Structure 1
Amino acid sequence: MSKRTAEDEQVVGALKGGDRPDAMDVDDKPNNEMGEFEDEFEDEFDSEDEIIEAGVDGRPDEEREAEEAGAMEVDGGGPGTFIVGRTKLDPGQTLSPDPTTYRMLHNLTTPWPCLSFDIIPDNLGDNRSVYPATMYTVAGTQADSAKANDNSLLVMKFSGLSKMDGENGDESSDDEDNDDEDADPILESKSIPLSSTVNRIRAHQCPSQDASRPATTLTATMTESTNVFIHDITPHLAAFDTPGSLITPQQNKPVSTIRAHKAEGYAVDWSPLHAVGKLLTGDNDGIIYLTTRSDGGGFVTDSRPFLGHTSSVEDIQWSPSEATVFSTASSDGTVRVWDARSKSRKPALTMQVSNVDVNVISWSRQTTHLLASGDDKGEWAVWDLRQWKPTANGDAGKPTPIASFNYHKEQITSIEWHPTDDSIVAVAAGDNTVTLWDLAVELDDEESKDTAGVQDVPPQLLFVHYQKMAKELHWHRQIPGALVATGEEFSVFRTISV
């Protein structure tokens, strides 16, 4: 996974709220305090810059489309067709979201950009549809190289996330529950100092043995320093709902530091099937280590690494259904499947799925024989693991994907299956977009005629969301259809199509 440079993404000021398509006052607050969302569109409308409305199909409004029909050059599209991530904007042009295509849309800015984040499960209930919404996240920063000591692990609470003006959707019509749906969004944060850029961060909750105590929430942070830091952020989360609560310096210290890796890395994952805590980490030397948390709370890293990749381990995921099985993606172009019980520490299956780096993978939680992967040239594919058969040397040969798409023309930086729908996939790419896909869509003859002028735009493409420097995305598993993505800033959104 490539990193953003601080020069490209200079972000100044304290952690604050982000942007809405409608006007709001700007009110910057110090770190760890609430902030209101600012209106980025106010200045744009006052200037002479042109605004292009880019919605679910990526087209401008009819008047602009007619005016610029002969001016736009589109890779793979017909004259005048605007495709987000493909069409080059003229000087002075900017993109503006079409509010009618979103149920919810908020942009959030942090002191430094974040390469990676995770969503924290909460006790506010599942299948929530009442606005304003609340969610908890954890992220790691990428400060300027000259200011490495400015890096931090950010524990954040987003609240007051209201739906779009005039958006009714299919949410609860209970007026009492939705009285505050127009409240201003609030971002609160707790900062844990770090001295190195965060490459990847993942969270895990360990159920409490005492019903009167909250679950323990752990984070594993892979950094440029080669060390992996494990923090207990339980007190930081509790502090959001306990006015006057202070975090002590001791609570900011890691509860464990993994020093087994000799190179930095990007691959880290907690097992969803081990409540106490079982962690895999992979580095740029292609080496993978397993760390286990004991019932007493201590962490032990097995000194025997898993070996097989000939280049860096870019991503790693535990199987959602088999407690000892995990998969890895590598810049050697392979996806490998492993059994943690293996004495040889070698992969059980090896698939050459690309001739370039495989950056990310995602294992379907609903249909667990499906695995999605995304590579460095912008192609992503879905694989049926039942078709992967090992040979004598563990190499399963050249597989055939059950679906593949090369819509994106820049590297795939993140991919994730919808948590409850095994046909929906979200993809982030280096072309400044987050795309939503429905693999269940089939193009009939009539639809083929309608889309004949837009070549290379698959019918499975549901939605295109503009996200500058898009890096990572996650579905919120307790708020159906809600997505959070990080790039130059955070986007929290839900479309009308999912």
Structure 2
Amino acid sequence: MASKKRTADTAELSNKAQAVGQETARPQTKDDGMGEFEDAWEDEIEDEVVDEDMIPEGDEDEDVDEFTPAMEDEEAPAPKKQTYLPGTKFAADEQLVADNSVYPCLHQMSYAWPCLSFDVLKDTGGTDRSSFPETVWVVTGTQAGEVPGQGRAKDEVVVMRMSGLSRTQYDDDSEDEEDNDEVDEDAKLDFLTIPHVGAVNRIRAAPAPAGGALPDPYHAATFSETGKVHIWDVKPLIDTLSGPSKPRQKTPVHTINAHGRNEGYAVEWGQSGLLTGDVASKIFLTTLTPTGFSTADKPYTSHTSSIEDLQWSPAEPTVFASASADRTVRVWDVRSKGRKSAVNVTAHDQDVNVISWNKNVDYLLVSGGDEGGVKVWDLRMFGKAKPTPVAHFTWHTAPITSVEWHPTDPSVFAASGSDDQVTLWDLSVEQDDDEASRNQATGPDGKPLDVPPQLLFVHQGQKDVKEIHWHPQVPGMVLSTASDGFNVFKTISC
């Protein structure tokens, strides 16, 4: 299960000049099996070798008979790079290829079964890491489904260690030897599993305290399609992958049965406990007491449709926000006896699938809807009549499946959609008309492309992207999961 270097289906847009770093190439080069590529325009005959003895006597000084380098066939120019954006049609001889120069790191990891929800685990490698090769840890859960001729496959909770994530190699004479030393190691995927009853709809790891040590126990919660929420201790699996084998518990440390048979997709840990929301529009709070986990008897019940996502406030530990298929985003306070939301807004024209609360600017929240829109909200406006978003982007053409603010940059967030795109955005970028006119990107037809100036980067290549997360200890690193596996990448834009 080693990493595969990606060679196709990714696209990049720079922030200021809107220069596209991912193009369609024509014609396709051929792999010779040794990691080198044949030149599609290479001369079919070898360079001519001139024997001076063959030159007629007396003609040596005549320009008409002198062989010079200018007389040799010149190398054919490289094919013109073209801007690619989602929806652009390919010609029969065109292929989408990755521009590795815009990816300091780009790797693909695959597992036996789709893992459509995951969370990044804290590790002991330190923070603000920038050197390669890199190692990251995640906890995920499978959605195995039916196996032809074998029936239903068994689902699992999986702790993964992705190591040897090296620098992306590309042809650049400016790279020094030190950089080249970081590109040769092959990536590796190590994992351990715990049996899980039912597909894992959503999985979230409990927040880890600051400092180098890992929490012990290290809890992760899964919402199963069976309606049960299980809490697991994944610390023994981390320890075993890191060193000598240790006893591993194969059953959850606690199971929440408050949702009955109603499955759900909303799970969120915070200082005040674990929030879980189901398709029956109920939200339950589970807290850790000296005697173990305890779930409140009464749910929070202001929504009228499925709870899709939950987020704790980064500034007020008793306040949380919820997103629902009833098209609203609501804000709650767990201290309220009525268990009703304090304020709300009709956020999208269709289901609100996901939300993310800015950890650096505590009044900003981003939401993603089923119609493909991404909106940024000022929560201070929720109490007023008909609040409007401070930003609204309609770039995606299918339901938004995940959004998340950058852990340290208050103006940057990432989004993913069912249109197979992962996009990075920067709210601090403003339109410069003069610069835009000089650097306007154009499509294959020569017409200008309508690219929002806040759109930093478009990453593609995965099918049915479901979830994305920034790595909190590796600045600029994004992890995404889809039906065909994981991507781990860094871009020059962040």
TM-score (norm 1): 0.79
Pair 184,474 (structure 1): closer, same or farther in 2 beyond 3 Å: same
317, 336, 341: which one pairs with 1:342?
336
| Cα drift, residue 165 of structure 1 | 1.8
1:252 equivalent in structure 2? 250
Does residue 424 of structure 2 align to residue 436 of structure 1? yes
Percent sequence identity over aligned pairs: 45
Q: CA RMSD in A?
A: 2.9
| Cα drift, residue 181 of structure 1 | 5.0
**What one-letter code is carried by the residue in structure 2 that aligns with 1:103?**
P
**Is the deviation greater in 103-112 or in 190-199?**
190-199
17, 36, 55: which one pairs with 2:2?
17
Q: Distance in 2 between matches of 1:212 and 1:82?
A: 46
User: Is the contact made by 1:219 and 1:230 (CA closer than 8 Å) also made in structure 2?
Assistant: yes
1:235 equivalent in structure 2? 236
1:134 equivalent in structure 2? 135
Does residue 99 of structure 2 align to residue 98 of structure 1? yes
Q: Distance in 1 between matches of 2:9 and 2:208?
A: 47
**Is the deviation greater in 374-383 or in 91-100?**
91-100
User: Is the contact made by 2:309 and 2:323 (CA closer than 8 Å) also made in structure 1?
Assistant: yes
Does residue 414 of structure 2 align to residue 426 of structure 1? yes
Pair 84,204 (structure 1): closer, same or farther in 2 beyond 3 Å: same
Superposition pairs of residues 71-82 of structure 1, within 5 angstroms:
82=83
Instruction: For residue 17 of structure 1, give the secondary structure of its aligned residue in structure 2.
Output: coil
Instruction: For residue 285 of structure 1, give the secondary structure of its aligned residue in structure 2.
Output: coil
User: Is the contact made by 1:132 and 1:182 (CA closer than 8 Å) also made in structure 2?
Assistant: no
2:119 equivalent in structure 1? 118
Structure with the greater alpha carbon radius of gyration:
2
2:205 equivalent in structure 1? 203
Pair 260,88 (structure 1): closer, same or farther in 2 beyond 3 Å: farther
Instruction: For residue 409 of structure 2, give the secondary structure of its aligned residue in structure 1.
Output: coil
| Cα drift, residue 294 of structure 1 | 1.4
User: Is the contact made by 1:20 and 1:107 (CA closer than 8 Å) also made in structure 2?
Assistant: yes
**What one-letter code is carried by the residue in structure 2 that aligns with 1:492?**
V
Q: Distance in 1 between matches of 2:489 and 2:98?
A: 11
Q: Distance in 1 between matches of 2:396 and 2:208?
A: 38
Q: Distance in 1 between matches of 2:243 and 2:25?
A: 52
User: Is the contact made by 1:205 and 1:216 (CA closer than 8 Å) also made in structure 2?
Assistant: no
Q: Distance in 1 between matches of 2:3 and 2:242?
A: 22
2:186 equivalent in structure 1? 184
Q: Distance in 2 between matches of 1:107 and 1:189?
A: 15
**Is the deviation greater in 440-449 or in 485-494?**
440-449
**What one-letter code is carried by the residue in structure 2 that aligns with 1:156?**
M
Superposition pairs of residues 299-318 of structure 1, within 5 angstroms:
299-318=293-312
Q: Distance in 1 between matches of 2:233 and 2:180?
A: 34
Q: Distance in 1 between matches of 2:365 and 2:214?
A: 36
Q: Distance in 1 between matches of 2:389 and 2:210?
A: 41
**What one-letter code is carried by the residue in structure 2 that aligns with 1:482?**
M
Q: Distance in 1 between matches of 2:22 and 2:213?
A: 53
Q: Please list every run of 5 or more consecutive structure 1 residues that lacks an aligned counterpart in the other structure.
A: 1-15, 22-40, 42-50, 65-79, 390-395
390, 413, 432: which one pairs with 2:401?
413
Q: Distance in 1 between matches of 2:343 and 2:111?
A: 41
| Cα drift, residue 398 of structure 1 | 2.3
| Cα drift, residue 246 of structure 1 | 4.7
Instruction: For residue 317 of structure 1, give the secondary structure of its aligned residue in structure 2.
Output: strand
158, 162, 170: which one pairs with 1:158?
162
User: Is the contact made by 2:349 and 2:371 (CA closer than 8 Å) also made in structure 1?
Assistant: no
User: Is the contact made by 1:435 and 1:464 (CA closer than 8 Å) also made in structure 2?
Assistant: yes
1:266 equivalent in structure 2? 265
1:109 equivalent in structure 2? 110
Q: Distance in 2 between matches of 1:409 and 1:282?
A: 27
Pair 398,178 (structure 1): closer, same or farther in 2 beyond 3 Å: same
| Cα drift, residue 92 of structure 1 | 8.2
| Cα drift, residue 87 of structure 1 | 2.2
Cα offsets for 1:251-301 (capped at 9, x unmatched): 121000001113110001000x35xxx1000000110000001135x1000
Instruction: For residue 237 of structure 1, give the secondary structure of its aligned residue in structure 2.
Output: helix
2:453 equivalent in structure 1? 459
Pair 436,214 (structure 1): closer, same or farther in 2 beyond 3 Å: closer
User: Is the contact made by 1:267 and 1:316 (CA closer than 8 Å) also made in structure 2?
Assistant: yes
Q: Distance in 2 between matches of 1:153 and 1:193?
A: 6
Q: Distance in 1 between matches of 2:243 and 2:322?
A: 40
Q: Distance in 1 between matches of 2:131 and 2:213?
A: 27
1:85 equivalent in structure 2? 86
Q: Please list every run of 5 or more consecutive structure 2 residues that lacks an aligned counterpart in the other structure.
A: 14-19, 28-80, 442-446
Q: Distance in 2 between matches of 1:144 and 1:61?
A: 36
Instruction: For residue 97 of structure 1, give the secondary structure of its aligned residue in structure 2.
Output: coil
| Cα drift, residue 93 of structure 1 | 6.0
Superposition pairs of residues 268-417 of structure 1, within 5 angstroms:
268-271=267-270, 273-274=271-272, 278-296=273-291, 298-389=292-383, 397-417=385-405
Pair 120,167 (structure 1): closer, same or farther in 2 beyond 3 Å: farther
User: Is the contact made by 1:206 and 1:216 (CA closer than 8 Å) also made in structure 2?
Assistant: no
User: Is the contact made by 1:140 and 1:151 (CA closer than 8 Å) also made in structure 2?
Assistant: yes
User: Is the contact made by 2:23 and 2:98 (CA closer than 8 Å) also made in structure 1?
Assistant: no
Instruction: For residue 116 of structure 2, give the secondary structure of its aligned residue in structure 1.
Output: strand
Pair 281,88 (structure 1): closer, same or farther in 2 beyond 3 Å: farther
| Cα drift, residue 207 of structure 1 | 5.4
Instruction: For residue 380 of structure 2, give the secondary structure of its aligned residue in structure 1.
Output: helix
Q: Distance in 2 between matches of 1:226 and 1:92?
A: 49
Q: Distance in 2 between matches of 1:88 and 1:257?
A: 49
**What one-letter code is carried by the residue in structure 2 that aligns with 1:120?**
L
| Cα drift, residue 388 of structure 1 | 1.5
User: Is the contact made by 2:24 and 2:94 (CA closer than 8 Å) also made in structure 1?
Assistant: no
Q: Distance in 1 between matches of 2:170 and 2:82?
A: 29
Pair 108,208 (structure 1): closer, same or farther in 2 beyond 3 Å: closer
**What one-letter code is carried by the residue in structure 1 that aligns with 2:259?**
H
**What one-letter code is carried by the residue in structure 2 that aligns with 1:329?**
A
User: Is the contact made by 2:378 and 2:390 (CA closer than 8 Å) also made in structure 1?
Assistant: yes
| Cα drift, residue 226 of structure 1 | 0.4
Q: Distance in 1 between matches of 2:275 and 2:10?
A: 43
481, 485, 489: which one pairs with 1:489?
485
Q: Distance in 2 between matches of 1:491 and 1:112?
A: 15
Runs of 4+ in 1 over 3 A off after TM superposition: 51-56, 61-64, 80-84, 88-95, 145-149, 177-181, 205-209, 211-215, 452-456
Pair 174,326 (structure 1): closer, same or farther in 2 beyond 3 Å: farther
Does residue 196 of structure 2 align to residue 194 of structure 1? yes
User: Is the contact made by 2:25 and 2:95 (CA closer than 8 Å) also made in structure 1?
Assistant: no
**What one-letter code is carried by the residue in structure 2 that aligns with 1:165?**
Q
Cα offsets for 1:36-71 (capped at 9, x unmatched): xxxxx5xxxxxxxxx77744326525767xxxxxxx
Instruction: For residue 114 of structure 1, give the secondary structure of its aligned residue in structure 2.
Output: coil
Cα offsets for 1:338-386 (capped at 9, x unmatched): 0011100000011101120000000000101000000001100100011
| Cα drift, residue 423 of structure 1 | 1.0
